[in-house]
Amino acid sequence: MERPIFSILSVLLLLILATTAVVLYAQGYHLDLSKKTVEKTGMILAKSIPEGAKVYLDGKLITATNSPISNLKPGSYLLKIEKEGYASWEKEIPVKEGLVTDVTALLPPLSPTFSAVTQNGARLITAAPSGNKAVFISGKGLYLLNLTNPPLGFLRTSPQKITEETEEFVLSKATKLIWSPNEDQVLVTIGKRSYLVAVTGRNGRPTLAPDVTGLLKNWNTTTGEQRKTMIKEMDLSEELAKEAVKPTTSWSPDEREFLYVKALPTGRQEFWVVNLSDPLPVGEEKHQMIWETENSKLQLFWLADSHHFVMIEEGAVSLLDLDGSNKRDLFRGTLAEPIAISTADLSKIIIVTSFTPKANPNLYAIGLR
């Protein structure tokens, strides 16, 4: 009678121990047999765009992207992600006990493709604040470019003409395009006059804006109030709160980060990123300087994923991580306009250039896949 009871108790004890071990393992605990101790570990989840890249940890091939690397002791690791035909990615990655360090490496091709978006010239391309669309002038028309991924794929459909030049509304002499805060209108500046054009339909009639100064002030106030609402519950210093609502501050598409530029007395300028994500992802900082330069013309533009930048510098177009690391060149040549815009799916970056000296600049898409 005693033996069956003992057997049942033994089985129950083994089940309890096994269940406990599974739970502890799932929570990141690891048995160190050499030290005869149970240690809390962390994990790295390395992803890549495109997928299927090799993942190296401290120089050793561990796995492929999109597979977790578990049971890592807390500390710093050199993570390298490689895929044949694409630029590699490398960074020191922190691992903390009980947490997952989530990494997404954007790997641009070593020889990117170029495809023409326009053929009759293009200028003044201006992205909407959301990054979902852009407007530009081509010939005697104002066009809308959809940057989201349509059912047939980006660039399978032509840019949409939203208005065209008239005797009074001379688009060929336009000098600036400005989006309204709600992205339903564009302000077109031609000489000393400015016109409002609706972008929600085809062939919208331009309307003369009599009080441009007042209109822009109202738009800036609207944008500022929207940003004040966004940061109301955020733990920001007074200095950063002021930077957050400035018209010159650039917010990420997901509205969780913003970029601002600090001009120094020496003539240099610093690019700073404020990350408002809560909780803050492992390895990311709330406030950090990501770039410093003497080049006053250097510009950074958000990619659609809000975790990378496109850098424009002296005719060079480069990719940059959120923290300023992993700078990779995409294009070196002549840019007709110092701007770069990404599609929503990160498959293309749009620039304005010309590959022949006498040709008009056009929109070209740099392929990232």
| Confidence (pLDDT) at 4 | 62
pLDDT per residue as tens, the chain (369 positions)? 555 665 665 655 555 544 544 444 445 554 454 554 557 899 999 999 999 999 999 999 999 999 999 999 999 999 999 999 999 999 999 999 999 999 999 999 999 999 999 999 999 999 998 889 999 999 999 999 999 865 434 455 579 999 999 999 999 999 999 999 999 999 999 999 999 999 986 667 899 998 999 999 999 999 999 899 888 878 889 999 999 999 899 999 999 999 999 999 998 999 999 999 888 899 899 999 999 999 989 999 999 999 999 999 988 999 999 999 999 999 999 999 999 999 998 899 999 999 888 889 999 999 998
| Confidence (pLDDT) at 148 | 86
| Confidence (pLDDT) at 362 | 95
| Confidence (pLDDT) at 235 | 81
Residue with tokens 């990420």: 252
Q: Looking at the domain that runs over 2-106, which CATH code has it been given?
A: 2.60.40.10
| Confidence (pLDDT) at 352 | 96
Nearest-CA neighbor of 117 among 155, 161, 164? 155
DSSP letter string, 206-254? PEE-S-HHHHHHHHHHHHHHHHHHHHTTS---HHHHHHHT-TT-EE-TT
- Domain residue ranges in the chain: 2-106, 237-367
With beta carbons less than 8 A apart as the criterion, state whether 202 and 160 touch: yes
Q: What is the β-pairing status of strands 42-49 and 100-106?
A: parallel
**What is the architecture, at CATH level 2, of domain 237-367?**
6 Propeller (2.120)
What are the residues whose beta carbons fall under 8 Å from the beta carbon of 137, sequence distance 6 or more?
A: 122, 123, 124, 143, 171, 172, 174, 177
Give the three-class secondary structure for 273.
strand
The conformational region for residue 348 under phi > 0 = left, psi -120 to 50 = alpha, else beta, is beta
Token pair in block for residue 310: 């496109």
| Confidence (pLDDT) at 124 | 97
